[in-house]
Amino acid sequence: MLDDLKLIHERDAQDTLGIAERQWQQLNYEFETSQLPLEIDNIVYAGMGGSSLAALLSTSWPGYEVPFEIVRNYDIPAYVSDRTYFIAASYSGNTEETLSALEQAESRGAKIAIIAGGGKLVDIAREKGYPLALLPKAEQPRYAVFYNLKALIALLQSAGIMTLDEINDELSRASEYLADVVKPWLPTIPSDRNPAKQIALEVIGKSAVIYAGPKLWPAAYKWKISFNENAKHIAWSNQYPEFNHNEFMGWTKQPTQKPYAVIDLRSNLEHPRVQKRFEVSERLLSGMRPAPIVVEAQGNDLLEQLLWTIAFGDFVTIYTAILNGINPAPVDLIEKFKKSLDE
């Protein structure tokens, strides 16, 4: 089925496979932002769903020298003050949780910036003169993660919070790397030579459980979201070493038959003890859970490994959607849910 290009084209009507192939281009997008240099104590980023993914990615790379917290909620932390750099992010610009958080941040005198593709957030930014990183059009927020990452970095750069010449060079090199490494996963590559298709074929009919260490955790969470939204497929994610302190035991007993596909996202850049935890866990849980599908992140540095792993997960989950007989792009039930909240 996954080698039938006509069938793939019919089910992938919005060409999400093409979006996944071209997403390296997002890393070269230049945002026009300007603001005075800021003196701050912390950064709070408010965003939901796909809009929070870039912020999570940024905690692994490039990381922060000041406290950084992601808010996926209506309410903001009690510590938010006039010494907080508050970034409100929503692709649609109309996410109600983010708008609520923004209103509270304004009442605390926080220094505000906006990342959005339109909607109320863009109107607010223009009306009040907030720094704005305007996102280009994308099929869905989850397909604009790398745009969002560049937008976040552009805001941090213009605010003087990060010295980013080296970071921009890394992004440029990583975009060239990503453009090349996706080629073995394209639909024209048959299943017997296409690792993304092979994992999709292993996962179909099972619930996916994705594990990673701290450095690849943002990628594991992106895999989870992509299984949910691309494949309309239930999935969970967790990270080591926390896994070994609770969830590890959950695999040892009931249910006896476990209809899951375990996917380990591993990196040679993780702490040596984290790498050993994967190996020991696999050995001790042998026979009590499905043998994990091991994905070894490729790349010369952390950024390349993160981008490689995220992009690989996009292809895997889109192929899973095609096997499920559905269009990967729409998330109709989420849109229906949002409308139902206002009824």
Radius of gyration of the chain (CA): 20
For tokens 């390349």, the residue is 304
- Dist. CA 314–CA 169, nearest whole Å: 25
Average of per-residue pLDDT across 138-157 = 91
Of the candidates 229, 232, 233, 270, the residue annotated as catalytic is 229
The DSSP bridge partners found for residue 7 are none
Structure tokens at 278: 């994967």
pLDDT of 159 > 90? The answer is yes
pLDDT of 145 > 80? The answer is yes
CATH topology of domain 5-12+182-323: Rossmann fold (3.40.50)
At 68 the pLDDT is: 98
Of the candidates 9, 183, 276, 338, the residue annotated as catalytic is 338
Are residues 304 and 269 in contact, defined by beta-carbon separation less than 8 angstroms? no
Active site residue 233: no
Backbone angles phi, psi at 308, to 5 degrees: -60, -45
Sign of the C-alpha dihedral computed for residues 153, 158, 163 and 169 taken in this order: positive
pLDDT tens digits, 58-69: 999 999 999 999
The fraction of the chain above a pLDDT of 70, given in percent, is 99
- Dist. CA 86–CA 100, nearest whole Å: 13
- Where exactly are the structural domains of the chain? 5-12+182-323, 38-159
At 142 the pLDDT is: 86
User: 38-159 in CATH: which number?
Assistant: 3.40.50.10490
At 256 the pLDDT is: 66
Active site residue 9: no
At 314 the pLDDT is: 97
pLDDT tens digits, 29-39: 999 888 989 99
Domains 5-12+182-323 and 38-159 share a fold: yes
Of the candidates 137, 245, 253, 336, the residue annotated as catalytic is 245
Residue in 90, 89, 91, 69 with CA at minimum distance from that of residue 80: 69
* Number of C-beta neighbours around residue 62 at 10 A: 19
**Rounded mean pLDDT of the chain?**
95
At 57 the pLDDT is: 97
Which three-class secondary structure string do you get for the chain? CCCCHHHHHHHCCCCHHHHHHHHHHHHHCCCCCCCCCCCCCEEEEECCCHHHHHHHHHHHCCCCCCCEEEECCCCCCCCCCCCEEEEEEECCCCCHHHHHHHHHHHHCCCEEEEEECCHHHHHHHHHHCCCEEECCCCCCHHHHHHHHHHHHHHHHHHCCCCCCHHHHHHHHHHHHHHHHHCHHHCCCCCHHHCHHHHHHHHHCCCEEEEEECCCCHHHHHHHHHHHHHCCCCCEEEEECCHHHHCHHHHCCCCCCCCCEEEEEEECCCCCHHHHHHHHHHHHHCECCECCCEEEECCCCCHHHHHHHHHHHHHHHHHHHHHHCCCCCCCCHHHHHHHHHHCC
At 173 the pLDDT is: 94
Active site residue 245: yes
Average of per-residue pLDDT across 265-283 = 98
User: Where residue 335 falls among pLDDT bands split at 50, 70, 90?
Assistant: confident
